[in-house]
């Protein structure tokens, strides 16, 4: 009986001590959280490092600020160190990215964590003694495991850029490089489309004469900035990086060689004809062959559009419009049709299609610029014609 009482008393004593220890630990974490939060907000990252480290080690689930501020603190340490010390901080930031998802999974998508680590490895490739293949594999893991959340502009460009570098080093085939271009391009098109849909809501509100609230104006500016970054910086940079590796002289033999193997693969056919059209290879018989095959197995607005480009027949314009249901994709097709007609000098019809594109995507102002350019050219032509028709009296 006495032994049982002693054990019970000892258990109770240990329980009380553990409770007090936990309270002390919580209090210590709260104090240090307040300290490093204040320092970090003032950008005094060296002062923040000590108390931040205590909270991270003792209370890793305590507050998400551990990971939000922690990234800034360690980035500062990396920037202001060299050699083995710098490598240690880089590896610690890699670990912190993993821990952020481990302890706050709902706040950190898998792709975000993997891309952050890949971006870090890419930036400090030399210091970490990593090869292009190793860093590419890190980006590829993010794409393979969580493509829908792979939206980081810098990461997407670096991923593709490494694919080109590996192609140049003969470690990826031309087809693999083009596939990666298309993979990344499709992600970017999805991001642009998603932000355009959100942006158009505000554009419609403004067109109706309503004033946007301060918050709405900020969101509108954010969507515009995001779209602009991808459309005017990332996509052109990708095309510049691809450069002469994607000329007609390269593409035609490649697609000729792989046609029989892929003639029933709708994705391959779509990408091949898109690439040939984008690079000005539409005059080659292979382009028609690709389009006709795609139209045979999977008729779509795209194939109808390309058939119009090839034949100039009105029925394919009608088919293009009838097969296109998504408003943004339809707006893009209208712009494509307008550009083809503009190139042929059919300004009146081109203007009609530019206006249709504007109705479907009011936040895209580029049709206005094209219409203005047509008016300017028409005006110049009229002036020239007038000058030619006026008799000269010398």
Cα separation, 266 vs 309, whole angstroms? 20
The end-to-end CA distance of the chain, in Å, is: 134
Q: What is the pTM of this model?
A: 0.83
Give Cβ neighbours of residue 167 (< 8 Å, ≥ 6 apart): 173, 174, 176, 177, 245
Residue 326 DSSP one-character state? S
What is the greatest pairwise CA distance in the chain? 134
| Residue 328: band (very low, low, confident or very high) from pLDDT cuts 50, 70, 90 | confident
What pLDDT digit, counting tens, does each position of 332-378 carry?
A: 888 988 888 888 888 988 899 899 888 888 888 888 888 998 888 87
Main-chain dihedrals φ then ψ at residue 284, nearest 5 degrees: -75, 140
Q: Do 347 and 378 contact (CB within 8 A), yes or no? A: yes
What pLDDT digit, counting tens, does each position of 127-138 carry?
A: 999 999 999 999
Q: Do 117 and 94 contact (CB within 8 A), yes or no? A: yes
For residue 20, pLDDT beyond 80:
no
> H-helix or E-strand containing 147?
none
What pLDDT digit, counting tens, does each position of 354-364 carry?
A: 998 888 888 88
What pLDDT digit, counting tens, does each position of 63-86 carry?
A: 999 999 999 999 999 999 999 999
Give Cβ neighbours of residue 68 (< 8 Å, ≥ 6 apart): none
Q: Do 139 and 175 contact (CB within 8 A), yes or no? A: no
Two structure tokens written together for 228? 């602009």
Question: Which has the minimum average pLDDT: 15-24, 37-46, 65-74, 224-233?
Answer: 15-24
Report CA torsion sign: 78, 79, 84, 85. negative
For the chain, where are the alpha helices, taking DSSP H only?
2-41, 45-58, 65-79, 83-103, 110-123, 125-128, 132-146, 153-168, 174-207, 214-229, 235-242, 248-262, 266-278, 285-297, 301-311, 314-323, 327-343, 347-360, 366-389
Instruction: Report the chain's mean pLDDT, rounded to a whole number.
Output: 89
Residue given tokens 């931040």 in the structure block:
52
Nearest CA to 281 among 249, 240, 257?
A: 249
């Amino acid at each position: 009986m006495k032994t049982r009482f002693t054990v019970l008393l000892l258990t109770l004593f240990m329980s009380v001590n553990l409770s007090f220890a936990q309270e002390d630990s919580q209090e210590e974490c709260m104090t240090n959280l307040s300290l490093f939060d204040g320092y970090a907000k003032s950008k005094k990252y060296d002062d923040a490092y000590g108390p931040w480290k205590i909270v991270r080690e003792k209370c890793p689930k305590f507050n998400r600020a551990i990971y939000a501020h922690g990234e800034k603190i360690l980035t500062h340490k990396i920037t202001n160190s060299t050699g083995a010390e710098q490598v240690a901080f880089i590896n610690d930031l890699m670990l912190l990215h993993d821990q952020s998802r481990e302890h706050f999974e709902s706040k950190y998508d898998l792709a975000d964590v993997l891309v952050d680590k890949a971006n870090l490895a890419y930036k400090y490739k030399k210091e970490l003694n990593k090869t292009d293949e190793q860093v590419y594999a890190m980006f590829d893991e993010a794409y393979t495991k969580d493509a829908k959340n792979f939206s980081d502009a810098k990461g997407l460009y670096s991923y593709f850029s490494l694919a080109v570098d590996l192609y140049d080093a003969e470690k990826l085939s031309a087809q693999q490089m083009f596939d990666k271009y298309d993979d990344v391009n499709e992600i970017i098109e999805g991001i642009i489309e998603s932000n355009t849909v959100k942006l158009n809501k505000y554009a419609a509100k403004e067109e109706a004469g309503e004033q946007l609230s301060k918050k709405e104006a900020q969101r509108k500016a954010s969507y515009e900035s995001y779209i602009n970054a991808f459309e005017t910086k990332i996509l052109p940079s990708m095309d510049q990086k691809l450069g002469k590796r994607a000329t007609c002289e390269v593409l035609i033999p490649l697609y000729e060689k792989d046609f029989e193997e892929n003639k029933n693969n709708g994705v391959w056919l779509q990408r091949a004809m898109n690439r040939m059209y984008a690079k000005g290879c539409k005059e080659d018989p292979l382009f028609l062959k690709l389009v006709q095959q795609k139209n045979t197995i999977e008729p779509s607005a795209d194939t109808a559009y390309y058939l119009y480009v090839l034949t100039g027949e009105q029925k394919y314009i009608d088919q293009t419009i009838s097969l296109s249901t998504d408003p943004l994709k339809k707006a893009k097709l209208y712009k494509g049709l307008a550009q083809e007609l503009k190139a042929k000098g059919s300004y009146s019809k081109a203007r009609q299609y530019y206006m249709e594109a504007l109705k479907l995507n009011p936040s895209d102002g580029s049709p206005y610029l094209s219409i203005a350019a047509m008016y300017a050219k028409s005006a110049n032509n009229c002036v020239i014609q007038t000058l030619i028709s006026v008799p000269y009296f010398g």
